[in-house]
Amino acid sequence: MDTGLPRGQRSPYQRDRDRIVHSIAFRRLRYKTQVFIAPDGDHYRVRLTHSLEVAQVARVIARILGLDEDLTEALALAHDIGHPPFGHAGEEALDAALHKAGGFDHNANCLRTLMRIESPYCEHDGLNLTWETLEGLAKHNGPVSEPNWALAELDAAYGLELGTYASLEAQVAALSDDIAYDNHDIDDGLRAGFLDLDELLAHPFIVPRWADVERRYPGVPRDRQLAELIRSQIGFMVNDLLDETQKRLVGIDSIDQVRSAGRQLVAFSPEVEEGERQFKRFMYEKLYYHPEQLETARRARALLAELYSAYSQEPVLMEESWIDGLPRHEPARSRHIADYIAGMTDRYAISCHAQIYGSTPEGLRNV
The answer to whether the beta carbons of residues 140 and 166 sit under 8 Å apart is yes
The residue-averaged pLDDT of 191-215 equals 96
Q: Return the percentage of the chain with pLDDT > 90, whole number.
A: 90
pLDDT of residue 38: 77
Rounded to whole angstroms, how far apart are CA atoms 45 and 38? 10
The residue-averaged pLDDT of 168-190 equals 96
pLDDT of 342 above 60? yes
The answer to whether the beta carbons of residues 275 and 336 sit under 8 Å apart is no
Contacts of 363 (CB under 8 A, 6+ apart): 295, 296, 299
Distance of CA 324 to the CA centre of its chain: 30
CB 351: neighbour CB atoms within 10 A?
A: 13
Rounded to whole angstroms, how far apart are CA atoms 236 and 73? 21
* Residue boundaries of the structural domains of the chain: 168-291
3-class state of residue 37 by DSSP: coil
Cα dist from 242 to 50, 51, 75, 196, 261, whole Å: 22, 21, 19, 31, 18
pLDDT tens digits, 311-330: 999 999 999 999 999 999 99
- Tell me: cis bond preceding 331? Omega within 30 of 0 counts: yes
Q: In degrees rounded to 5, what are phi and psi of residue 255?
A: -65, -30
pLDDT of 4 above 70? no
**pLDDT band at residue 2 using 50, 70 and 90 as cut-offs:** very low
Rounded to whole angstroms, how far apart are CA atoms 332 and 330? 5
Average pLDDT, the chain: 94
Rounded to whole angstroms, how far apart are CA atoms 121 and 79? 22
pLDDT of residue 3: 39
**pLDDT band at residue 111 using 50, 70 and 90 as cut-offs:** very high
pLDDT of residue 272: 98
Rounded to whole angstroms, how far apart are CA atoms 341 and 309? 11
pLDDT of residue 321: 93
The residue-averaged pLDDT of 47-73 equals 97
Model confidence, pTM: 0.95
pLDDT of residue 7: 58
pLDDT of residue 282: 97
pLDDT of 242 above 90? yes
3-class state of residue 310 by DSSP: helix
243 bridge partner residues: none
46 bridge partner residues: 33
Rounded to whole angstroms, how far apart are CA atoms 261 and 125? 34
